[in-house]
Amino acid sequence: MSNHLPAIVVVFTVLLLVFVTWQVGRARGRYGIKAPATTGNETFERVFRMQMNTVESTVLFLPALWLGSTYGSPLLAGIAGLVWVAARFWYALAYAQAANKRGMAFILSAAAAGVAFAVGCWGLLRALIG
């Protein structure tokens, strides 16, 4: 079971990306921002920035999850991954409401990614020395 935890995290990460993409599409409709424009309404701009930040963050998180699962512990990296995904859903919902509500969610997601990364670095170090 714990060996499959990282894959479960990947499932929720894909759902997170679907969610934020859908949020931007909905905001385009609601505020009348036609592609390729990305500006023109403050709420739309916030939702759009939220999506970009989620994508950037995923590009950092997935390699950290891989490292933590492969070299460290699938269980520890998987739990950190679940926290990361939950924090990122929270971030998406908070940022859509107001820019200054995203702080705690960002910090939690960064900490969770940091744990997965640290677990992986530690395991890699042992593999290199041992």
Q: What minimum distance in Å lies between the beta carbon of 49 and a copy of itself?
A: 3
Nearer residue to a copy of itself within complex by CB, 6 or 83: 6
Give CA torsion, residues 35, 37, 43, 45, to 10 deg. 120
Q: What minimum distance in Å lies between the beta carbon of 76 and a copy of itself?
A: 17
Give the Å distances, CA to CA, from 57 to 2, 3, 4, 13, 112. 24, 24, 22, 11, 12
Angstrom distance (rounded) from CA 31 to CA 124: 48
Give the SS3 label for residue 98.
coil
Q: What minimum distance in Å lies between the beta carbon of 20 and a copy of itself?
A: 9
Q: Are 84 and 60 in contact (CB under 8 A)?
A: no
Q: What minimum distance in Å lies between the beta carbon of 9 and a copy of itself?
A: 10
Closest CA relative to residue 105, chosen from 45, 53, 39: 53
Which positions lie near a copy of itself, rule CB under 8 A? 1, 4, 7-8, 10-11, 13-14, 17-18, 21, 34-38, 42, 45-46, 48-51, 55-56, 58-60, 62-64, 66-67, 70-71, 99, 102, 117, 120-121, 124, 127-128
Nearer residue to a copy of itself within complex by CB, 30 or 56: 56
